Structure 1
Amino acid sequence: MSRYLLNKFLYTVDRDPELVERYRNDPRGTVEWWEANVANTLLNCVSGESSTWLTFEDAEREALASHDHPRLFELGAHPFLTLTLFIAMFERDHEGLGFQKLYAEQLAHFSLPYPDITT
């Protein structure tokens, strides 16, 4: 499992409005495209530099493809990264702070100690 790769996905998608919309409308296709084209590029580095070994595990890929933020948290994705991305995708579908409240409710079953979110 790579918490780094989960967090990198959330971070990079959240910073590109076109990717946010793509992920909202075609999550599975976006995850597959991102894994094939972006996962092994180095974050904040000159273009042309890349690695070759980073891939999602099936559980990570499925949680991303199904927008399952409680499962992502369980797998070690940072909750602030999921929250900011999912607000960008779903806040428009809820009144006021409706999405933020739903997000909190869906994570309420977690208790200390929380899943490890270190990368």
Structure 2
Amino acid sequence: MSRYLLNKFLFTVDRDPELVERYRADPADTVRWWEDEQANRILNCHGAESSTWLRFDDTERTALSTHDYPALFELGAHPFLTLTLFIAMFERDHDGLGFQLEYARRLAHFSLPYPDITT
């Protein structure tokens, strides 16, 4: 499991409006593409710099591919990153703070101490 890679996915997708829409429309394909093409790129470096070893495990890949943000939180994805990305994708489907309230409701079963979000 790699909290770093989960957070990197959430961070990079959230910063690209086209990727946000792609992830909303076809999450499994977006996760597969991102893992193959983007996961090993080093943040803030030119395209030639990359690593070769970063991959999602099956649990991470499934949670990302199904938009399962409670599972992502449980896996240690940073809640600010999940909230901002999922607001960008789903706030339009709810009135007012409807999505934020739904997010809180679906995470309400967690109690302190929360899952570790360090990377």
User: Aligned partners of 1:7 and 1:91: how far apart in 2?
Assistant: 20
Q: Which moved more, 1:65-74 or 1:44-53?
A: 44-53
- Residue 113 of structure 2 corresponds to residue 113 of structure 1: yes
- Inter-partner Cα distance in structure 2 for 1:53 and 1:76: 20
Residue 71 of structure 2 aligns with an amino acid whose one-letter code is R
2:40 corresponds to: 40
- Runs of at least 4 residues off by over 3 Å: none
Give the letter for the 1:71 counterpart. A
* Counterpart residue number, 1:4: 4
The alignment yields a C-alpha RMSD, in angstroms, of 0.4
Structure 1 residue 47, shift from structure 2 partner: 2.1
Please give the alpha-carbon distance, in whole angstroms, between the structure 2 residues aligned to 1:93 and 1:9: 23
In structure 2, stretches of 5+ residues that fail to align are none
Letter in 1 for 2:7: N
**In 2, Cα distance between equivalents of 1:46 and 1:61:** 26
Length-normalised TM-score, structure 2: 0.99
Q: Does 1:70 align with 2:70?
A: yes
Tell me which amino acid in the other structure corresponds to 1:44: N
| Number of residue equivalences | 119
Gaps of 5+ in 1: none
